[in-house]
Amino acid sequence: MSALTAFATPKSAQFHAVSLSVAAVAGIATLGVTSVMLPPPAMFLGWAAFNLAGDDLRGGLANTVSHLLGLALGAGTALLIGAMTPALGLLATPVAVIGVVIVVLSLREVAPINNPLAYFLGLTSFFYSGLAPSASTLAMLGSAAVIGGAACAVAAFAQDAVARAGEVRHA
């Protein structure tokens, strides 16, 4: 079968319909966050966190909460680094990182918000932003993450709808 023929099969049409529906949701979510001056990378990190593990809404929500807690841990770590730098100099950052990683890995025991990757995405979002640790920073990054998680949930619903429509047509 040639590549062109494989591209045009009904199954691949369903594949492309899923891709287009997810892309549309991503585009709408990006328009939403940029229109209210939120950072799109933080939205996509929230999207990724929502989708890390678990195939249901409950798992996605738990991952989003873990992500938001990761943002808070990032801000706390930044404050700790600032407080320790006069005494420890360059060692302040690695000492603070060791501490936050211990905390994150310890949270593996706190179900359902026990996804270390979601926490690390929150930490990454905070530190990637380069913003000062403040309530407004957490609100901005957290809002973008929640929009990303919601967009991921909508995209999953759209994928399921396309898959169900394909099953009905081809049954």
Contact 77, 123 (CB under 8 A): yes
pTM (2 decimals)?
A: 0.86
pLDDT tens readout for residues 132-151 = 999 999 999 999 999 999 99
Which of 49-58, 72-81, 105-114, 161-170 is the least confident region?
161-170
* 3-class DSSP assignment, residue 76: helix
Sketch the domain layout of the chain as residue ranges.
Answer: 52-169
DSSP 91: G
How many Å apart are CA 69 and CA 135, to the nearest integer? 13
Contact 104, 70 (CB under 8 A): yes
pLDDT for residue 5: 56
Which among 142, 114, 166, 146 has a CA at the least distance from the CA of 47? 146
Who has greater pLDDT, 46 or 54? 46
pLDDT reading at 107 higher than 60: yes
Residue 15 confidence class, pLDDT cut points 50, 70, 90: confident
Amino acid at 125: S
> What is the C-alpha end-to-end distance of the chain, expressed in Å?
23
Contact 121, 45 (CB under 8 A): yes
Interacting residues of 124 by C-beta distance below 8 A, sequence separation 6+: 45, 70, 74
pLDDT tens readout for residues 160-171 = 888 777 654 433
CA neighbours within 13 Å on the CB side: how many for 159?
Answer: 12
Token pair belonging to 65: 């909460």
